[in-house]
């Protein structure tokens, strides 16, 4: 029966597993950013709290995009189990350093998946991935520009609150 059902999809089992693993990465990002939102809120950094709540929502949308892609190709998407999400963070700057690190990791994952697509000639999935590859340029850009605020303003005195005030102005227009 399983083999018969498999005939319904041209998505290989290997690619299905890889994409399900990426669902988990996106869900992890979503939970991590929500934890960062709570921490920033606790520190009185309202804009950063809002920023991370929005990021968390976006990551859930990324997760669902992959989830739906697997389902639409006739595969079996797996709702991920997420564990080990921290509740505490060392510093305001550290939160954004971890964000950049996470996004660079995600970029690497999508590059690896794209690489795999070309190796197994899955150009349908390769095409699907293009949106994510472009999105990663924005995600890394925003995290880097916010980290620059820490270099320019500094966290001493009222610095943290100045950074929190300015970070909402960081946007990516693709130019
Ligand atoms: Fe879905 Fe921020 O990568």
Looking at residue 7, what is its pLDDT? 60
Ligand 1 centroid to residue 154 C-alpha, Å? 27
Looking at residue 143, what is its pLDDT? 97
**How far is the C-alpha of 32 from the C-alpha of 28, rounded, in Å?**
6
Looking at residue 175, what is its pLDDT? 76
Give the right CATH number for 12-169 from 2.60.40.1120, 2.40.50.1020, 1.20.1260.10, 3.30.70.2200: 1.20.1260.10
Which ligand 1 atom minimizes the distance to the CA of 63?
1
Looking at residue 1, what is its pLDDT? 53
Ligand 1 centroid to residue 5 C-alpha, Å? 31
3-state secondary structure the chain: CHHHHHCCCCCCHHHHHHHHHHHHHHHHHHHHHHHHHHHHHHCCCHHHHHHHHHHHHHHHHHHHHHHHHHHHCCCCCCCCCCCCCCCCCCCHHHHHHHHHHHHHHHHHHHHHHHHHHHHCCCHHHHHHHHHHHHHHHHHHHHHHHHHHHHHHHCCCCCHHHHHHHHHHHCCCCCC
* Ligand 1 first shell, C-beta below 6 A: 26, 29, 59, 62, 103, 106, 139
Looking at residue 3, what is its pLDDT? 60
Instruction: Parse the chain into domains and list their residue ranges.
Output: 12-169
Which ligand 1 atom minimizes the distance to the CA of 25?
1
Looking at residue 68, what is its pLDDT? 98
Ligand 1 centroid to residue 112 C-alpha, Å? 15
Which ligand 1 atom minimizes the distance to the CA of 102?
2
Looking at residue 6, what is its pLDDT? 54
Residue-by-residue pLDDT tens, the chain, 175 positions: 556 555 667 899 999 999 999 999 999 999 999 999 999 999 999 999 999 999 999 999 999 999 999 999 999 999 999 999 999 999 999 999 999 999 999 999 999 999 999 999 999 999 999 999 999 999 999 999 999 999 999 999 999 999 999 999 998 987 7
Write the residue with the smallest CA distance to atom 1 of ligand 1. 59
């Amino acid at each position: 029966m399983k083999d018969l059902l498999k005939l319904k999809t041209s998505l290989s089992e290997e690619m299905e597993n890889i994409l399900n693993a990426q669902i988990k990465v996106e869900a992890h990002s979503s939970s991590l950013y929500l934890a960062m939102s709570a921490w920033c809120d606790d520190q009185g950094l309202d804009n950063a709290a809002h920023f991370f709540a929005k990021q968390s929502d976006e990551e859930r949308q990324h997760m669902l995009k992959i989830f739906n892609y697997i389902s639409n190709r006739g595969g079996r998407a797996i709702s991920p189990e997420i564990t080990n999400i921290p509740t505490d963070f060392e510093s305001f700057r550290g939160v954004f350093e971890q964000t950049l690190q996470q996004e660079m990791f995600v970029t690497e994952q999508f590059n690896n998946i794209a690489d795999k697509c070309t190796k197994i000639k899955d150009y349908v999935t390769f095409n699907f991935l293009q949106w994510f590859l472009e999105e990663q340029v924005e995600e890394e850009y925003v995290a880097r520009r916010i980290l620059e605020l820490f270099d320019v303003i500094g966290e001493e005195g009222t610095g943290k609150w100045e950074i929190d005030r300015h970070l909402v102005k960081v946007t990516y227009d693709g130019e």
